[in-house]
Structure 1
Amino acid sequence: MPNTATPRIHLGPNPDAALIRGIERGGGVLAPLDDAEAVVWAQGPDTFPAELPDSVRWVQLPSAGVEPWISAGIVDTDRAWTSAAGAYAGNVAEHGVLLLLAGVRALTEQVRATSWRKAEFDPQVGTLRGARVAIVGCGGIGRAMIPLLAAFGADVLAVTRSGTPVPGASETLPADRTSEIWSRADHFVIAAPATSATAHLVDEAALAQMKSTAWIVNVARGSLIDTEGLVRALRAGSIGGAALDVTDPEPLPDGHPLWTLPNAIITPHVANPATGLTGLLADHVATNVERFAAGAPLLAPIDPARGY
């Protein structure tokens, strides 16, 4: 990407103090859309301009998951596009570990209990010490989880698209060997992008290979897990449980069995709370504006062909 000394950045659809500071920290200046070299967008695809001027060479999107942008036909090949992948990794990693601990420590029924049931609950309480946790889609979120899990004495088996070794993981497998992990790990964290290739990545065949004590945490997208198959496994007790911050369908309807199954934990897509989004995004924007100005590779480039 060519060098731009002081890039002209359009911020839309509305002004935001944190993002303005991020653009300025990166060395950019605010500009109207028709005079911009780059666009930083802070809302969803439904508010995005129908057309961009030819002068725009880079667009920064506000979310880590970009499937709605791609399915809407907005992401093109005429310019560079970047997501917010990695910007929110620390927040989501913290929530993911919380969900895993809640499952392994059998908190689901304990927090609902209204009487002292020690004899019942005591045998259900497990530990992460000595456990092997497979992180499927071990990108920014997964890498942020590794030191947190290590602090509890857990070992990490990472799965990435390429299989390039992930620092801190005891082993890394390429995505085409994902089927090997279901019988090898004690617990699973799903953090992969949602694409046609990853739909129902966790299906009934995968669930059938898991240990009866295994917990599945999903902090990615609900479509990665076959919900009906998961409900059947939870009802049968063939796995330990599932802790989901994302669901399919989403929002999860009232009355859905996942709300009341004793081995299911649901949080309403709050791993990355809206209250802190723009501050974290602003740091990401500042780095990318600086890189854009220097002609350096941008963080979190989107490949429309891959869907992320």
Structure 2
Amino acid sequence: MALIRPRTLPSRSPTSSPAAKSSAERPDAMRVLIHNDRPEPLRERLLELVPDVEVGLCDSYDGLVTATQAFEPEVQFHIRFEDKPYPVEAVFDVPGLRWLGVGGVGVDHLGPWDPEAITVTNGAGVASEALAWHVLGSIIALTLKYPLFARRQAEHIWAWQDVGHVWGKTVCVVGLGHIGRDIAKLCNAVGLRVVGTRANPQPTDNVDQVFGPDGLHKALAEADYVAVCTPKVPSTIGLIDGAAFAAMKPGACLIDVSRGGVTLADQLMAALDSGHLAGASLDVFDPEPMPDDHPIWGREDVMITPHSCATFEGWELKALEMFADNLKRLKAGQPLFNVVDPVRGY
């Protein structure tokens, strides 16, 4: 955990800028800027939980620089919502901004930052249960060949087809962080054997065997299903490549809920074409959005969701509530949780 010394910025008149709408000014209140395309419900919930703050709003990427200059926030909370580069200059170049709270888990859109100048936290744990259910649902759907049957239904084809079964099988969780541990818990609960990898291997609840990074291929060799949920950092870009696919069991299935670029799509398709892999479920891709002419769209052995399995109903409010818990800690002079190391990326 990291300790940030709370401080009060000079009081000023609320801005009239449409890019940074402010709640009613409170003398000596900490100024918090919420950056989201639907910020008003988040403002209302934040003020219910932490009423003694002044809240500014910004609902676009283009307006963020103006908003931060006008509102002069000490703290910013943001959730990515546009398919274009994040305006990092509106965060790291702002005098007085000490803490950036990211509502999601990934921070690769921020690039490098100086942890001595600004603290970055993420929403690790907010969507881990939803992602775990997505992984389990994908395991069942791929095993029972739902993508194939959906295609045949659309074509009005009634054709008998062998399907597999899940009981007694093994899942390998690549990355036993918040998400990975919830995947392991759910898979273990339905009778799947679980192995996994983590940067610092140690005994982990609901996991039969834990491997370090250098044991990835050994872990993959044991698995009928591979759930990829590792952060995207330099050491994990291209982690699931041709060698990784070759290490997997014949007939294994891949489920990727990490970040685009961790799995190499061309080598995934080669493994599917050869029959070595039986199927894949992709919630992430590189680039995003996936090009509409990419050949993976037409495959019957691949399920595609548009980076959406974590965006369950109410997740933004849940992320805001986690941020509010940290804001209370900041105001009380306590260490923050979910602090991100810019070198590790998580």
TM-score range, shorter chain: 0.7 to 0.9
State yes or no: 1:22 paired with 2:53: no
Q: For the structure 1 residues 2 and 268, does the alpha-carbon distance in structure 2 shift closer, same or farther, using more than 3 Å as the test?
A: closer
SS in 1 for 2:325: helix
**Which of 121, 142, 164 is the equivalent residue of 1:82?**
121
TM-score, L = length of structure 1: 0.88
State yes or no: 1:11 paired with 2:33: yes
Alpha-carbon distance between aligned partners in 2 of 1:220 and 1:190, rounded to the nearest angstrom: 6
SS in 1 for 2:140: helix
1:302 alignment partner AA: V
Alpha-carbon distance between aligned partners in 2 of 1:20 and 1:116, rounded to the nearest angstrom: 52
State yes or no: 1:39 paired with 2:80: no
Question: In structure 2, what is the equivalent of residue 233 of structure 1?
Answer: 271
Question: In structure 1, what is the equivalent of residue 108 of structure 2?
Answer: 67
Contact 1:83 1:300 in 2 (8 A): yes
Q: Cα deviations across residues 5-30 of structure 1 (Å, max 9, x unaligned)?
A: 99724123364323442354156512
Q: Cα deviations across residues 84-129 of structure 1 (Å, max 9, x unaligned)?
A: 22212122222222122211222121122233322xx12xx22222
Contact 1:86 1:300 in 2 (8 A): no
Cα-Cα RMSD: 2.5
Alpha-carbon distance between aligned partners in 2 of 1:23 and 1:163, rounded to the nearest angstrom: 41
Q: For the structure 1 residues 210 and 49, does the alpha-carbon distance in structure 2 shift closer, same or farther, using more than 3 Å as the test?
A: closer
SS in 1 for 2:314: helix
In our comparison, the structure showing a higher alpha carbon Rg is 2
Question: In structure 1, what is the equivalent of residue 65 of structure 2?
Answer: none
Q: For the structure 1 residues 217 and 7, does the alpha-carbon distance in structure 2 shift closer, same or farther, using more than 3 Å as the test?
A: farther
Contact 2:101 2:120 in 1 (8 A): yes
Contact 1:60 1:82 in 2 (8 A): yes
Question: In structure 2, what is the equivalent of residue 172 of structure 1?
Answer: 210
Q: For the structure 1 residues 28 and 103, does the alpha-carbon distance in structure 2 shift closer, same or farther, using more than 3 Å as the test?
A: farther
2:77 alignment partner AA: V
Q: Cα deviations across residues 266-304 of structure 1 (Å, max 9, x unaligned)?
A: 111111227534212122112211222333332221111
Shift of 1:190: 0.3
**Which of 126, 145, 149 is the equivalent residue of 1:106?**
145
Q: For the structure 1 residues 23 and 77, does the alpha-carbon distance in structure 2 shift closer, same or farther, using more than 3 Å as the test?
A: farther
Matched ranges for 1:139-218 at <5 A? 139-218=177-256
Q: Which moved more, 1:132-141 or 1:2-11?
A: 2-11
Contact 2:32 2:54 in 1 (8 A): yes
TM-score, L = length of structure 2: 0.79
Alpha-carbon distance between aligned partners in 1 of 2:79 and 2:307, rounded to the nearest angstrom: 18
1:53 alignment partner AA: P
Same amino acid, percent of matched pairs: 29
Q: Report which of the two has the higher share of helix.
A: 1
1:97 alignment partner AA: L
Contact 1:203 1:226 in 2 (8 A): yes
SS in 2 for 1:225: coil
Structure 2 residue ranges without an equivalent (≥5): 8-27, 57-67
Q: For the structure 1 residues 170 and 66, does the alpha-carbon distance in structure 2 shift closer, same or farther, using more than 3 Å as the test?
A: same
1:294 alignment partner AA: A
Q: For the structure 1 residues 75 and 89, does the alpha-carbon distance in structure 2 shift closer, same or farther, using more than 3 Å as the test?
A: farther
**Which of 66, 79, 95 is the equivalent residue of 1:53?**
95
Shift of 1:37: 3.9
Question: In structure 1, what is the equivalent of residue 24 of structure 2?
Answer: none
Shift of 1:35: 6.2
Structure 1 residue ranges without an equivalent (≥5): none
SS in 2 for 1:39: strand
